[in-house]
Structure formats: structure tokens, C-alpha cells
């Protein structure tokens, strides 16, 4: 596609991704200079269509960006009223008291929100300031300048033939150039991945670590609804198979967010994260809550969990990585949206200072310094050892030592220094011969559901005639390596049933990619033990259409 002539449009700043980071950057740029020419490109069919988060929101990011957000009608309507932690066994639960936990773990002053709806509201604020927002515009390529700097992106390519060639209905898209380009694609963004590799931004950093977050929205019996209640659990059903846990958040309108996170550093390739989530809902405490209710939406998304020591360098000539493109989630708090907003604000301020100084296409080092030495760095540095402790020592030890380390860091010192993660999540996967298969109960269709039934509740759609956006570096690897050595883990780690091994009598197994099911979670790009699957963006507007995730 590189030889195609495209129209170009010039901007001061081009922003890829209308999530909390990208929209915060756009808003801040226009606050600083109403004449700044800013565009936001969003691959979802509308702003919020691809946003999936827990979410309990710490409003500090909004406070810094739009101090009068309450008066402006931001959809933060449900303050947290109670905060509960449980350790689950198969038949019961033990409440973990709140008092030994460091202050940072408290949800006092936070809100249960739909981040999709928060982003829709932020987009309205941005457009009122004059920001151009183009949903349904997937960014498929970076554009580089003569000196190797990033100068823009290619967006809006539609109608390619199934083999990737140009057809009579192909729209070649256009190049959008900027003095600076912000990549706020969320976790494991395809362009961010390219930029990190091209400029070796992760050199000398710990490998990034990830979790898979799955979420359902339920409408429940009003008598069981407790608006503002926040519950987190650990332990069963994962036990020693994987790290992770659940969240249950009661928002308004008798709705509950039921979510489950599985850390992707698990060793046993037989682990089936989606089925762990479905099994979790059969715990007596959860089943009683959901009894008589109905699931109304489903989705899944990877979560960056590496923390402070895994954040790559955030800037290269002409480009800055924002929010989860860097990895700014505070793992024990299960919160990253506030840091995403703060990162967008910081990037905007650095870019505006550069533009006022007649600079362009260089490294915004002021942004990186702000993130590492400011509020974001302080937030992440305190909790930097929780994830590696959990991965290496297990749940019980990490609770004790992680809590101790967070208290020490809160008081200004650390006994442990900064612990390393070691292996990537792909490298952590061990051969199937070392582990026993796991017998998962069949979904009952009332509390638990099969994947394809649930994917229908993500309202996912892909134009089937386009090239598959999930590609293989080597098409033989799934059957020749991953199936015999790892028992074909892609058939399990994908929460949307995209991958399957089809066996027909008298023939070798076939590896099938049902890309139409993809909910853009990126788990395959992360967890594949051979690192053979590459996630690229499909044409704009395709993918899930989350209503209020």
C-alpha cells in the first residue's frame, strides 16, 4: 500500500484513539490554545464502542483536566459507598478486613462508571472546544519523515480485497500529518507495537505483563441491588492455576458489572480463562446475587499489568505513547483510567510548549519526565512490586509481602527495591506434557454461557470480505508446534472463540481463524507461546459495539 498516492491533511497534533488518554490530550491542547489544529481518529463505529473497563474511576484525572466536570454533567453518578474484599473457596468465602490495607487501596471518593459513557461525554467536551473527531477511522500505517521521524498516520482504508489487494471498491484512505502524533490506542495497540520496536523503546525495561479482563453487565432483582457497592474477590476458582480475581460493581438502574481478570503469565496451557469466569458465577455468593437476573452485555479486553518497571520509553521523534499504550494501570487498585487522563494532559502540555517554541518532529522529553516524576510515577512506583510478587510467590505470600511493601512505599521507603518480572507472558507458557488438562463444567445457559452465545452480546461485527486482521507469521506453526507441544492454547485463551483446530477423519487438523468473532482484546498477540499471531486493525467501524461498558 506504500506506493499509493493519498490525499494529505495537516494538523498540529494527530491523536490515534478516542479513549480517556487521547480525549484528555485533545481537550488540554484546545484549552491551552483554541487555535491549535487537533484531530482524533477512532477505529470504533462511535466513541466508546471499543471502550471496556471495570470501572471504578478515581476522579483525580478529571479534576485536573475539567475541574467543573460535575456542573458539566459528566456521567459519574454512583459514588462508591462500600468496599469489600473476599477470599473465595469453592463453597464459601472469607472477608478480608479493610483496616490493614494501605490508604491507596480505599475507594472512598471514587465512582462506579461506564468508561464508554465517560468517553462519549469527553468527546462532547472536546468537540465543543473545536476538536475534530472521526470515528470509524482505523489507522493502519505510520508515516515517517525524511529523517526517520514520525510525521503522521494512514487512516480510512476501506474495501480491500480478501487477499489484501486493491479492488474496484477500495478507498485508499488518507495521510494525516502532524507536528506530533499521539498514540493512545490502549493495550497492545498495533501502531504502538511498531513504534516501540522501531525505536527500541523497551530496551532495558522489564517485559510488559498483561491480564485478560472479561465483563458482563447484568440486570438483577431490585431487592438484591446495592447501588455504590464494590466487591473484589481472589482465590477460587483460579487457585494455583493462575493469578487474578473478580469484581462486582453495583451501578444505577439495578445493573451490576460482573468481571473477572486472569493474569496471562499462567504456566499451564490448559487454563481456559473464559471458562474460569463462567465457573466463578456459580459460586454460592455470586449465584445468589445473579439469580433471577439477566445478562445484557459481554466483552473482553487485555489489561497492562507490568507497572512502573515495564513502562517503555514514551517518546520518539515526532511521537508520544499515552495511557495504556505505555501501561499505567495500578494493579492492586485495578485502576488506570485516571493515569491515562493525566498522561494525555501531560503530553498535550509538552506538545504545546514545543509548538510555541516552533519545534516539531522531535522527542517530547518533557512529557516523559512529567509522567515518571509526577503524579503517575508516584502512583505506580508505590505498587511496583505487587505484580512480580504475585507471579513468583503466589497469592497468599503476595498479599502479605505486597501489603507490607505498599505500606513501606507509602511511608517513603522500600525493603524490596524494584523486583523484576523476568519472562514475558508468552514465555511463561509451559509445555502441555508438564500439566494436567482441566475439566471445566459445561455452561448452564442461565448463569454461565458458551463463548459464541456471549459474543453475540458484544454486538461485534466485521465485514467478512476484507482481509483477516489476525495474521500468522508462519501458517504451519499452529498445527506443527502449538497443537502437539502446547495442546493448542489459542482455542482456549481467546475469550471470543476466534481460533479452533478442526479435525476431520483421515486428515490432519486444520487451524481456523474466525476473525469475525474478534472483540479486539489482543490476548492472542500477547499469549501465543510461539508469538506467531499478529493483531492488526481491521477496517474502521468494525469490531465490538459496546453500549455502556
pLDDT tens figures, 19-36: 999 999 999 999 999 999
Average pLDDT value over all residues in the chain: 95
pLDDT of residue 3: 64
pLDDT at position 335 over 50: yes
CA-based nearest residue to 319, from 184, 142, 182: 182
SS3 69: coil
Confidence of residue 1 (pLDDT cuts 50, 70, 90): very low
Q: What is the mean pLDDT of residues 101-125?
A: 94
CA-based nearest residue to 523, from 195, 211, 191: 211
CA–centroid distance for 106 within its chain: 23
Q: What is the mean pLDDT of residues 463-476?
A: 95
Cell match 512505599: residue? Answer: 409
Q: What is the mean pLDDT of residues 245-267?
A: 97
pLDDT tens figures, 475-520: 999 999 999 999 999 999 999 999 999 988 888 899 999 999 999 9
pLDDT of residue 267: 97
Confidence of residue 415 (pLDDT cuts 50, 70, 90): confident
**Cβ atoms of residues 261 and 238 within 8 Å:** no
pLDDT of residue 200: 98
Q: What is the mean pLDDT of residues 268-283?
A: 98
Question: DSSP class of residue 481?
Answer: I
229: phi then psi, degrees, rounded to nearest 5: -85, 135
**Start-to-end Cα distance in the chain:** 35
pLDDT tens figures, 176-204: 999 999 999 999 999 999 999 999 999 99
Cell match 469466569: residue? Answer: 277
pTM of this structure = 0.95
CA-based nearest residue to 300, from 54, 17, 19: 54
CA-based nearest residue to 237, from 455, 387, 429, 395: 395
- Residue 57 to residue 336: CA distance in whole angstroms: 8
Buried b (16+ CB within 10 A) or exposed e, 18-29: bbbbbbbbbbbb
Amino acid at each position: 500500500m506504500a506506493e499509493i498516492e493519498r490525499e494529505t491533511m495537516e494538523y498540529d497534533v494527530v491523536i490515534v484513539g478516542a479513549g480517556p488518554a487521547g480525549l484528555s490530550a485533545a481537550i488540554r491542547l484546545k484549552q491551552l490554545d483554541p487555535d491549535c489544529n487537533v484531530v482524533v481518529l477512532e477505529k470504533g463505529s462511535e466513541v466508546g464502542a471499543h471502550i471496556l473497563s471495570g470501572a471504578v474511576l478515581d476522579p483525580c484525572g478529571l479534576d485536573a483536566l475539567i475541574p467543573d466536570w460535575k456542573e458539566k454533567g459528566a456521567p459519574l453518578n454512583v459514588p462508591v459507598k462500600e468496599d469489600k474484599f473476599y477470599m473465595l473457596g469453592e463453597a464459601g468465602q472469607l472477608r478480608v478486613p479493610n483496616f490493614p490495607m494501605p490508604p491507596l487501596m480505599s475507594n472512598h471518593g471514587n465512582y462506579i462508571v461506564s468508561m464508554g459513557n465517560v468517553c462519549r461525554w469527553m468527546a462532547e467536551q472536546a468537540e465543543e472546544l473545536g476538536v475534530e473527531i472521526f470515528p470509524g477511522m482505523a489507522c493502519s500505517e505510520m508515516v515517517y519523515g525524511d529523517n526517520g521521524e514520525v510525521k503522521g498516520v494512514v487512516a480510512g482504508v476501506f474495501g480491500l480485497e480478501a487477499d489484501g489487494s486493491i479492488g474496484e471498491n477500495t478507498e485508499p484512505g488518507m495521510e494525516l500529518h502532524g507536528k506530533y502524533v499521539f498514540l493512545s490506542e490502549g493495550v497492545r495497540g498495533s501502531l504502538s507495537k511498531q513504534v516501540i520496536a522501531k525505536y527500541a523503546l523497551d530496551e532495558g525495561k522489564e517485559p510488559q505483563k498483561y491480564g485478560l479482563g472479561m465483563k458482563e453487565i447484568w440486570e438483577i432483582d431490585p431487592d438484591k441491588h446495592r447501588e455504590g457497592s464494590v466487591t473484589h474477590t481472589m482465590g477460587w476458582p483460579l487457585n494455583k492455576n493462575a493469578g487474578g480475581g473478580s469484581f462486582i460493581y453495583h451501578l444505577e438502574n439495578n445493573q451490576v458489572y460482573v468481571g473477572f481478570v486472569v493474569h496471562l503469565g499462567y504456566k499451564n496451557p490448559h487454563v481456559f480463562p473464559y471458562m474460569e469466569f463462567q465457573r466463578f458465577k456459580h459460586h454460592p455468593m455470586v449465584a445468589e446475587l445473579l439469580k433471577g437476573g439477566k445478562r445484557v452485555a459481554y466483552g473482553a479486553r487485555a489489561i497492562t499489568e507490568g507497572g512502573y518497571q515495564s513502562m517503555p520509553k514514551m517518546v520518539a521523534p515526532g511521537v508520544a505513547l499515552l495511557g495504556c499504550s505505555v501501561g499505567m494501570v495500578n494493579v492492586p487498585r485495578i485502576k488506570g483510567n485516571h493515569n491515562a487522563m493525566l498522561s494525555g494532559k501531560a503530553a498535550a502540555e509538552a506538545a504545546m510548549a514545543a509548538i510555541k517554541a516552533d519545534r516539531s518532529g522531535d522527542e517530547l522529553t518533557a512529557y516523559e519526565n512529567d509522567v515518571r516524576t509526577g503524579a503517575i510515577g508516584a502512583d505506580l512506583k508505590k505498587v511496583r512490586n505487587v505484580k512480580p510478587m504475585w507471579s513468583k510467590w503466589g497469592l497468599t505470600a503476595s498479599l502479605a509481602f505486597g501489603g507490607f511493601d505498599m505500606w513501606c512505599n507509602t511511608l517513603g521507603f522500600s525493603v524490596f527495591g524494584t523486583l523484576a518480572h523476568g519472562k514475558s507472558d508468552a514465555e511463561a507458557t509451559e509445555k502441555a506434557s508438564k500439566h494436567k488438562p482441566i475439566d471445566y463444567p459445561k455452561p448452564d445457559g442461565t448463569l454461565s454461557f458458551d463463548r459464541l452465545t456471549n459474543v453475540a452480546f458484544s454486538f461485534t461485527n466485521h465485514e467478512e470480505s476484507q482481509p483477516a486482521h489476525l495474521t500468522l507469521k508462519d501458517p504451519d506453526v499452529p498445527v506443527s508446534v502449538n497443537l502437539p507441544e502446547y495442546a493448542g492454547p489459542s482455542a482456549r485463551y481467546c475469550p471470543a472463540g476466534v481460533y479452533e483446530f478442526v479435525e476431520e477423519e483421515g486428515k490432519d487438523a486444520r487451524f481456523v481463524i474466525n476473525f469475525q468473532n474478534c472483540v479486539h482484546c489482543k490476548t492472542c498477540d500477547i499469549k501465543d507461546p510461539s508469538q506467531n499471531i499478529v493483531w492488526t486493525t481491521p477496517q474502521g467501524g468494525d469490531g465490538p459495539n459496546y453500549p455502556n461498558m
